[in-house]
Amino acid sequence: MTVVLVIGSGYAGFEAARKLEKLLVPGEAEVVLISDVDHLDYVSLLPEVAAGVIDPRHNAVSLHRTLRKTRVLLGTVARLDLTARKAFCQHRDGTERALSYDRLILAPGSVPKTFPTPGLEHAFAFRTLAQAVYLRDHLQNQLEIADATDDPAEREAYCTCLVVGAGYSGTEFVAQMQLVAARMLPLFPRVTSVRWVLIDAAPRILPELDRRLGEHATKRLADRGLGIRPETTVDRLEPGRAVLSDGTTLATHTVVWTAGVTPAPLIASLDLPTTAGRLEVTPDLQVPGHPGVFAVGDAAAVPDLTKPGKLCGATAQHATRQGKRAAANVVASLRGEPLRNYRHRDLGFVVDLGGLDAAANPLGIPLSGLPAKVVTRGYHLLAIPTMANKVRVAVDWTLAALIQDQGVRLGFVTDQEARLPGVGSP
């Protein structure tokens, strides 16, 4: 039987498999999805998982339960042979399996981008559910230590948190965590405040949003006490301190690295042309010179036909739609029908600033405060792929509005899992 192989279960891979299930008629092709996790992580709500507002399981869409006509294989594709049309998959039990395919959709997404900054092993990553859970626990642990110590300088260091990178992941993270820290303070009487510092090499935060909304977010977060330092980078990290490019040194045990993403390592291993590390594709999402091989999402350099000369942004919106388009093109190619180009005009951005605040520009209309919050939550409720997950998230939001955070640190995630990939632990 013809095999359509999908690699990755992020927005792009998940939607590709779901669309293939809808379009293929019984017996036309087998869909196989390889992923190193058994769920789609709805990454856009990760900051609320870190805040303890959303239960991590509620933010994960089960592949086994949702993709009932797809063969889901858990493992990591370590190597691809595009000429022989084979994928080499490593499974958790240490075994390796070679899988032949007729059509391939590459959707391995991205990983945190790192720089040769000395001491990067002291920073935490914020890209997975486990890391989100870890960071919530870590913050509580810092406050517990700060509350216990008699040394004021030590207490201040444990109550200082640095976030590196002010795109939407860093900004949403810090916005949520400021509020989490404020809610925890009454539990630790000897801690009076937690200091948050957000730095970025760019001249302003949230460069993806229009200037007015970026300014709204900056003002709201600064009013809550956030120290925002544009045009600032990390010179080096050391145990218990961060040395910044503006010449200052912060005593801190919490450095969260959200300084952008780069395509998953599988892409570089292909030795094919890339732009900014993303695999080059034609507007119909095929890899040039490899008919039947498609690439989508953060890992692919997809031309933005609505903005000639530009690439589609690395966003959930594009990844979701590109996954569906690639699936439709795979089916067209199997049936000898013409392929269609990917074209999608951005519907705008939504940025949740925690509490009742947000910034959004749906269809280009700038909104802030409560109206933006309503749009932001409405957007996520529509975009979360299954009814079960929508209901769970909506219930979590309701509970968080009605009852207090439990103030419990579970410690299920190891320190090593929270570190940047390829950098290691201190």
Ligand X SMILES: Cc1cc2nc3c(=O)[nH]c(=O)nc-3n(C[C@H](O)[C@H](O)[C@H](O)COP(=O)(O)OP(=O)(O)OC[C@H]3O[C@@H](n4cnc5c(N)ncnc54)[C@H](O)[C@@H]3O)c2cc1C
Which residues of this protein are in contact with ligand X, per CB under 6 A? Answer: 7-13, 34-37, 43-44, 46-47, 76-77, 107-110, 126-127, 168-169, 264, 266, 297-299, 314-317, 319
Residue with Cβ nearer ligand X (21 or 156)? 21
- Give the max Cα distance, the chain: 74
Distance between CA 134 and CA 279 in Å, rounded?
Answer: 32
Contact 279, 287 (CB under 8 A): yes
CB of 187 to ligand X, least distance (A): 26
Residue with Cβ nearer ligand X (228 or 314)? 314
CB of 57 to ligand X, least distance (A): 16
Query: Which residues is 255 bridged to in the sheet?
Result: 162
Residue with Cβ nearer ligand X (298 or 304)? 298
Residue with Cβ nearer ligand X (52 or 109)? 109
Residue with Cβ nearer ligand X (110 or 286)? 110
CB of 275 to ligand X, least distance (A): 15
CB of 225 to ligand X, least distance (A): 22
How many beta carbons lie within 10 A of that of residue 290, not counting itself? 16
Residue 375's closest CA among 397, 352, 398? Answer: 352
CB of 354 to ligand X, least distance (A): 14
Distance between CA 114 and CA 280 in Å, rounded?
Answer: 22
Residue with Cβ nearer ligand X (49 or 120)? 49
CB of 111 to ligand X, least distance (A): 8
Residue with Cβ nearer ligand X (43 or 53)? 43
Query: Which residues is 187 bridged to in the sheet?
Result: none
CB of 166 to ligand X, least distance (A): 13
CB of 37 to ligand X, least distance (A): 5
**């929508």: which residue's tokens?**
390
Residue with Cβ nearer ligand X (38 or 151)? 38
